[in-house]
Amino acid sequence: MPHYRMFIDGEHVDTDESFDMVNPSTGEVWATVAKGTTEHVDAAVEAAQRAFESSGWRDTPMADRADLIDRAAARLADRLDELSALAAQENGVPVRLAAGLLIGMPIMHAQHFAEMARSFEWEAPVGEAGLVRKEPFGVVAGIVPWNVPLVVGTWKVIPAIATGNSVILKVDEKTPITELALAEALTAEGLPPGVLNIVTGDAEEVGNHISAHPGIRKVSYTGSTPTGRTVMRHAAENVKALTLELGGKGANIVLEDADLDRAVDGSLWAFLVNAGQACESGTRLLLPESIHDEFVDRMIARMKTLTIGDSSDPATDLGPVVNARQRDRISHYLEIAEKEGATVAYGGTLSGPQYETGYWIHPTVLTDVTNDMKVAAEEIFGPVVSVLKYSTVEEAISIANDTEYGLSAGVWSTDNDRALDIARRLDAGTVWINDWHVLSGQLPFGGFKQSGFGREMGPNALDEYTQEKAISFDDGAPREEKLWQAVLSTPPSAAS
């Protein structure tokens, strides 16, 4: 059985205790991973600080750093099929999707960050008497979820090391493999020991220790809003910088003039990717009363064509959820939905021998939903969409914004100007028009309200891992004309 170790100070580190890694399609333990503790975090911080101070990485020319990142990305690309298969085993993402989303996308983003690094401006003059200089924080940490681990890990690691920081990456014990592969690829291409360290461990013990550690100057966390609040509290102890990308309840607004064939497929894509286990999923579907029934019927007919099965099968469209806890949590929300008056327009139990093991949730469409129901207000994190009716566009915008979240939203229309006008009025960090889950490295990603703050990707992705220093030059004015005279009013000759 494969066993995966942590990666600290350029070496693989094992422990006496380990986590079981369970294949969501079968429920079987197929690998183990070392179980880290606070002592491993401390060792990683020491290694990272030592690397920041003496490895020479922070002084390496940006072009050389960018070249190293590109070479590491090429190494991952050479392992695309292997890593896609492993990713499918880790968290149940269908292998066909894993190749594009879980492995292919982060490779492209790493290459994009490398290109950004080549033109990064460390110092810029301001007026005639000053300049603004950017400098790395030093030791920074990333805390990564299990749903798209290498995607989010790349967003944190590559900008951080590109700008000269050292990194501790806390990975989820269910999905450590692809982040370890990233560390191994970077190290093989010459990244000094200690610049990137990978640790595992229980969230409450290890995650909280990272958030509160005085040697870590910034934490970038991706995960649930409740845990994000905990990270903030711990980070406040040392007033450390934060980026928080938290939960979502994306409103997907279909207008009457939308191309229905396109909008139906796109709306399924919006909430079914990774069995709905994506923070920016479109899980609230807002439909005009005039097309509600037709749209729901079309969507259900399309869902019946999906192949639901083992994530390792290339023919699979939709796989299992990650574990029994997640399956039971989603099932509980479906029970609540019916008690609150929602209708299960499509759903039920998956039957057949292939579903007797593993963690399966039937993709579900809930109608007769109102925005005050739990299934419309809370993040379910599963293949479930809540359909809400609206009568006017103003009502749709009001419903969309009536949430504590603000991560994503979408608008479907054949009138781009009209869609853009609505997009500008939605309280969300990302709004897609006639699409969903488009995560371009050129655009920033992050949330409004309780979906967090700070941005990953976009034109300022590297800036997120630097701090600004203002340097001011003497303006050359005679001494007697300086503002000093407000305090030193006695002429020097008289003072002597």
379 tagged catalytic = no
Q: Sort 133 into a burial class: Cβ within 10 Å, 0-12 / 13-18 / 19+.
A: middle
Single-letter residue type at 169: L
Phi, psi of 37 (to 5 degrees): -130, 180
Q: Among the options 173, 179, 245, 456, which is catalytic?
A: 245
Which residue type, as a one-letter code, is found at position 348? Answer: G
Query: DSSP class of residue 238?
Result: T
C-alpha span between 383 and 277 (Å, rounded): 7
DSSP state of 191: P
Instruction: Kindly tell me the sign of the dihedral angle through the C-alpha atoms of 113, 115, 117, 123.
Output: negative
Helix or strand (DSSP H, E) at 415: none
Torsion sign, CA atoms 426, 427, 433, 436 = negative
- The sign of the torsion formed by the CA atoms of 271, 429, 256, 438 equals negative
Strand 166-170 versus strand 196-199 pairing type = parallel
CB 263 within 8 A of CB 285: no
Q: Tell me the backbone φ, ψ of residue 305, rounded to 5 degrees.
A: -90, -5
Residues 75/120, Cβ–Cβ less than 8 Å: no
Check if the beta carbon of residue 430 is closer than 8 Å to that of residue 445: yes
Amino acid code (one letter) for 341: G
- 279 tagged catalytic: yes
Sort residue 123 into left (φ over 0), alpha (ψ -120 to 50) or beta: beta
> What is the spatial distance between Cα 79 and Cα 65, in angstroms, rounded to a whole number?
22
Give the tokens for residue 135. 């400098």
The DSSP call for residue 360 is -
**From the candidates 90, 179, 184, 279, which is the catalytic residue?**
279
Check residue 363 and give left, alpha or beta (phi > 0: left; psi -120 to 50: alpha).
beta
- CA dist 59 and 224 (Å) reads 36
**Amino acid letter for position 98:** A
Please count the other Cβ atoms lying within 10 Å of the Cβ belonging to residue 318: 25
Catalytic residue numbers?
245, 279
